[in-house]
Chain A
Amino acid sequence: MRPQHLVTHPRSLHPGAWWLWALGLAAAASRTQNPVPLLLVLAVTGFVVAARRSDAPWARSYGAFLKLALVLIVVRILFQSVLSSGSQGPTVLLTLPDLPVPGSTGLKLGGVISLEAVLQATYEGLQLATILCCVGAANSLGSARRLLRSMPGALYEVGVASVIALTFAPQLVTDAGRVRAAQRLRGQSGGGLTSMKRLAMPVLEGALDRSVELAAAMDSRGYGRTTHRSRGSRRLTGLLVFGGILGVAVGVYGLLSGTSTSWFGLPMLLAGCVLAATGTYLGGRRTGRTKYRPDPWALPEWLVVGCGLVPAVTMFWSVRTDPASLFLASATTVPPVPLLACAGIMVGLLPCVLAPPLPRVGPVAPVGTAPVEAAA
């Protein structure tokens, strides 16, 4: 068995696996407004992030997403309870001074605030917040920058441009700091739009100069070598891509139109997506470029993806068999515990042991593995 198949061999998991795992949890969260499974999903993502995140700067983004999610819930509660009169129920919590709002919008300002409105807003906000936190977990576990390396070949130019942007953006910030320091030495005080102009010009000029230099460096290292593609293969990929786009368009039309022929909408959409994706993939495969040390996709990746799939499948199954426990009839009832769905979500917790531990930074490895490390 090769070492990358072991769940104990320290390496960083393929970021795509983390994204699929998080998408599975997000799909599960998108199917319920019961706070019990939602909070469970939230806890699972938080726990796995705490167990398997790296020290990289983007690993902190889970916290940022969590804060954003809290803001989202609070905004929603404020809107539904203070501004909307239509979502109030019979249980009055408190009555604020009322301010009439002109027009027939149905809005209000202040007035009666009921428990139903607050609870409903909390549950709906919690659903979105949970989905948001799943995305945040994916952001902090699987680096989107490393995912760039697995970009399909057809997007090679865009990928290179993105890598250039990511590499030079921090340098631009340093440049701006240097320009500002120079301005301060000349006695120019910062602030206002005119100082922004004085700052923008040198920074932009520096970036443009650098782009010309970079292009020369890329040219001299053989960038832009094009491989010959036969007319037939170009035609085939074009046919696939445009057939796919046409399929998507027809599928969307089928989903939107009210006539009886709309049954073909979803299948057409799916078929179009598959065609277009195949065309783009084939078009990129013929560019004749290889990847430098590609990230392996081995057993742990499959296990993690499976752990994300299980919550989604059990949740979709529960929606079909027992919808009443996932969408509460009234916001004030005590939320029931949907056992199957919760068990499925708990499977999503397993990646905190199934994902391989991160390689430790620094010379702490045992003596025997040192040459391997050096060779790698």
Chain B
Amino acid sequence: MTDLIPLRGRSTMALAAVSAIGLVAFGWPFFTEPGSALDSSHSGDAPFLFVAVLPLLAAIVLAELTSGGMDAKSVAMLGMLAAVGGALRALGPGTAGLEPSFAVIILGGRVFGRGFGFVLGAVTIFAGALITGGVGPWLPFQMIAAGWVGFLAGCLPRSSGRAEVLVLAGYAFVAGLLFGLVMNLWFWPFASYGPETSFVAGDPVTANLSRYAVFYVTTSLLWDLGRSVLSFLLIGLTGSALLQALRRASRRAAFDAPVVFER
């Protein structure tokens, strides 16, 4: 596996810290203690607060990951794969149009390493949003969540042949469901569809969790299942061919070859 964006000490630290804060930004409804500032005086601002902070965090982690270490070949590969994902996203069916681009993010993360996977996920979502004119407060959340999808795809255990395709397809299925679970969380506090399904500040975690489960099952499980099944089929059927193509391109580009100037 070629590692196009190697994780060095500094970028690993930035990625870990931003991911931790990102987890809180998604899951803060479950983390607020009764009597805290988000629970009492700022309960109305809480969702807006994280919407405001997350773009900065996404920018920081992308800057730390990419600064310095990327040559022209890596940037061109990143841009091209993001173009494929973005175009698939623009062509994708309606609101659940994330499905086909997921396969690109996962395969790219698998072939070119976890750091590249994170950046590819984020840039693919960003480019897709620019192409469709859908830039909004959800964008940083989607970028970080898709970055996680690509990162974890690069962390999967080594395997080859049929087993690798199966592992990737299974991962795509799980990632599709988890992505939906996490992405619904960010607007859950906004979405008060009635007291049975909405977030109540200061309630015990279990009560909020069960209400979130009801919300998830009634509103988005069907979409997410569709996305998961499609990603599973897409990678299961075309995975081996696409992996080969990506690895061939990686060999052709010779990412590992050191640049030496002769006098």
User: What is the 8 Å Cβ interface bit string for chain A, positions 159-171, against chain B (1 contact, 0 not)?
Assistant: 0111111111111
A208 within 8 A of B: yes
Residue contact A162 to B123, C-beta cutoff 8 Å? yes
A80 within 8 A of B: yes
> What residues of A have a CB within 8 angstroms of the CB of B196 in the complex?
83-86, 105-107
Which of A34-42, A90-98, A249-257 has 4 or more CB atoms under 8 Å from chain B? A249-257
B205 within 8 A of A: no
Residue contact A139 to B59, C-beta cutoff 8 Å? no
Residue contact B77 to A211, C-beta cutoff 8 Å? yes
Interface size on B, residues (CB 8 A): 91
Closest chain B residue, CB of each to CB of A274:
B56
A:150-198 near B, CB below 8 Å: 152, 154-155, 157-158, 160-173, 193-194, 196-197
User: What is the 8 Å Cβ interface bit string for chain A, positions 241-264, against chain B (1 contact, 0 not)?
Assistant: 110111011001011111100110
A361 within 8 A of B: no
Residue contact B237 to A197, C-beta cutoff 8 Å? yes
B:120-163 near A, CB below 8 Å: 122-124, 126-127, 129-137
Residue contact B238 to A197, C-beta cutoff 8 Å? yes
Interface SS of chain B: helix
Residue contact B60 to A276, C-beta cutoff 8 Å? yes
**Of B24, B60, B83, which one neighbours A241 at CB under 8 angstroms?**
B60
Residue contact B83 to A280, C-beta cutoff 8 Å? no
Closest chain A residue, CB of each to CB of B129:
A144
Residue contact B193 to A162, C-beta cutoff 8 Å? no
Complex Cα–Cα for A124 and B191 (A):
9
B96 within 8 A of A: no
Closest chain B residue, CB of each to CB of A82:
B194
A339 within 8 A of B: no
Given A155-B59, A258-B34, decide whether A226 and B68 contact each other with a Cβ distance below 8 A: yes
**Of A87, A135, A140, A196, which one neighbours B195 at CB under 8 angstroms?**
A87
Report which B residues bind A (CB closer than 8 A).
10, 13-14, 17-18, 20-21, 24-25, 28, 31-39, 42, 46, 48-49, 53, 56-57, 59-60, 62-64, 66-68, 70-73, 75-84, 86-87, 90-91, 119, 122-124, 126-127, 129-137, 190-197, 210, 214, 218-219, 233-234, 237-238, 241-242, 245-246, 248-249, 252-253
The 3 closest A-B pairs by CB, nearest first: A84-B194, A164-B79, A258-B33
Report which A residues bind B (CB closer than 8 A).
30, 57-58, 60-61, 64, 76, 79-80, 83-87, 105-107, 117, 121, 124, 128, 132, 135, 138-140, 144-145, 148, 152, 154-155, 157-158, 160-173, 193-194, 196-197, 200-201, 203-205, 207-212, 214-215, 218-219, 223-224, 226, 238, 241-242, 244-246, 248-249, 252, 254-259, 262-263, 265-266, 269, 273, 276-277, 280, 283-284
Known: A166-B83, A245-B18; 14 extra A-B contacts, CB below 8 A, are: A60-B133, A80-B193, A84-B194, A84-B195, A164-B75, A165-B86, A169-B90, A170-B87, A193-B233, A197-B238, A224-B72, A241-B14, A248-B21, A255-B49
- Interface CB pairs A-B, < 8 A, 23: A64-B133, A76-B193, A106-B195, A106-B196, A107-B197, A128-B190, A155-B63, A157-B75, A164-B79, A164-B82, A168-B83, A193-B233, A196-B237, A207-B84, A208-B245, A215-B75, A218-B75, A218-B76, A241-B60, A245-B17, A252-B24, A256-B32, A256-B38
